């Protein structure tokens, strides 16, 4: 991979945020050939110091970053910022990889998990969407199974970390654990609780998070022949999302083959030895890039139906790492 990489100028938009911080760490770990790093945040953060690979960089504004014409801009600053500023970067020739929901379902924008559909990318794609964190781990596990058995219906129930909401939510949980009164990110306490309320409610009674899970997998897998429904729940963990997934296939399956298919999938780790209490947990997925799959078993109530338990670090593979893997794919295939 390194031999195909060229030196480049990279902007990280939202560098002072929770995902932005992880993005900088993953960039350093994966050793992208960055000749110039441009940390970007709101005007109030201008001049703030960011340490990257032991060197100090200073946060700049979006206006100044656009004028610097970076090769690549990694966005993690919210949908409004992406809608307003991604086209401005595009105009100066920058390729944008956006971590918000702003562009995901736009027909002319690609929604990418590199291991699954990186092959759809071209040099003409200047604004590329990173999927929702819960979607990424879901499709990583389902893609090889869909290819082999053809999915008919998927039912997903999520157990999502407070880190998916952001710094304010992480602080709410910390305050509750410490018995401190503080600002509330949620309409209820989150400690010792479970909120069936991720993002805002829509007219159909589902939340935005649930509808992302319904729509995004079909676009990534380039197939709308299967149906999907979701319930998204916030729980008091400070990192890692978990999903209970029930999948009905058109064709029957063999459990040993299912485990082998998943084990052979790059980026997926099977942890499925209940005799030794081995199964995925957010505690052990923390700070890892893989998607962990376990509790693999047949649904005995319905034919051709499988149960899975899927866990991944939502700030890494669910956000920062997938974004940077898209960048790596573009570099490897000379698409920048």
Cβ–Cβ < 8 Å for 78, 292: no
SS3 content of the chain, % helix, strand, coil (to 5): 35, 25, 40
Q: Distance (Å, rounded) from C-alpha 198 to C-alpha 259? A: 31
Q: Are 233 and 195 in contact (CB under 8 A)?
A: yes
Q: What phi-psi label fits residue 146: left (phi over 0), alpha (psi between -120 and 50 degrees) or beta?
A: alpha
DSSP state for residue 316 in the 8-state scheme? I
Does residue 241 carry a catalytic annotation? yes
State the catalytic residue, choosing from 146, 188, 197, 241.
241
The active-site residue out of 133, 146, 197, 333 is 133
- In 3D space, the residue among 218, 228, 236 whose CA is nearest the CA of residue 160 turns out to be 236
Mark whether 133 is an active-site residue.
yes
Which of 100, 33, 17, 131 has the alpha carbon at shortest distance from 332? 33
> What sign does the CA torsion over 233, 14, 239, 33 have?
positive
Q: Which H helix or E strand runs over 242?
A: strand 241-249
Terminus-to-terminus CA distance in the chain, angstroms? 15
Tokens at 304, concatenated: 């051709």
Angle at 313 between CA 10 and CA 218, to 5 degrees: 85
312 SS3 class: strand
Q: List beta partners, residue 295.
A: none
Give the catalytic positions in this structure: 133, 241
């Amino acid at each position: 991979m390194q031999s195909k990489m060229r030196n480049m100028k990279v902007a990280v938009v939202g560098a002072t945020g929770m995902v932005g911080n992880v993005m900088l760490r993953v960039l350093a770990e994966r050793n992208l050939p960055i000749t110039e790093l441009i940390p970007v945040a709101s005007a109030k953060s201008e001049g703030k110091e960011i340490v990257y690979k032991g060197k100090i960089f200073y946060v700049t504004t979006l206006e100044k970053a656009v004028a610097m014409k970076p090769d690549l801009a990694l966005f993690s600053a919210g949908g409004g910022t992406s809608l307003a500023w991604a086209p401005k970067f595009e105009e100066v020739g920058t390729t944008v990889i956006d971590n918000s929901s702003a562009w995901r379902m736009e027909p002319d924008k690609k929604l990418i998990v590199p291991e699954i559909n990186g092959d759809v990318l071209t040099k003409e794609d200047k604004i590329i969407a990173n999927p929702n964190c819960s979607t990424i781990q879901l499709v990583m596990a389902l893609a090889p199974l869909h290819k082999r058995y053809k999915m008919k219906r998927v039912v997903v129930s999520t157990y999502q970390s407070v880190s998916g909401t952001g710094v304010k939510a992480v602080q709410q949980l910390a305050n509750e654990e410490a018995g401190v009164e503080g600002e509330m990110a949620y309409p209820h306490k989150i400690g010792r609780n479970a909120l069936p309320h991720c993002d805002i409610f829509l007219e159909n009674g589902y939340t935005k998070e649930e509808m992302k899970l319904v729509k995004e997998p079909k676009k990534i897998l380039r197939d709308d022949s299967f149906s999907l429904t979701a319930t998204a729940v916030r729980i008091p963990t400070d990192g890692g999302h978990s999903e209970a997934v029930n999948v009905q296939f058109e064709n029957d399956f063999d459990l040993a083959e299912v485990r082998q298919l998943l084990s052979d999938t790059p980026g997926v780790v099977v942890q499925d030895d209940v005799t030794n209490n081995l199964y995925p947990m957010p505690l052990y997925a923390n700070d890892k890039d893989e998607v962990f799959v376990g509790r693999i078993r047949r649904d005995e109530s319905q034919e051709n139906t499988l149960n899975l338990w899927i866990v991944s670090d939502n700030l890494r593979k669910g956000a920062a790492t997938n974004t940077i893997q898209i960048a790596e794919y573009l570099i490897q295939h000379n698409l920048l």
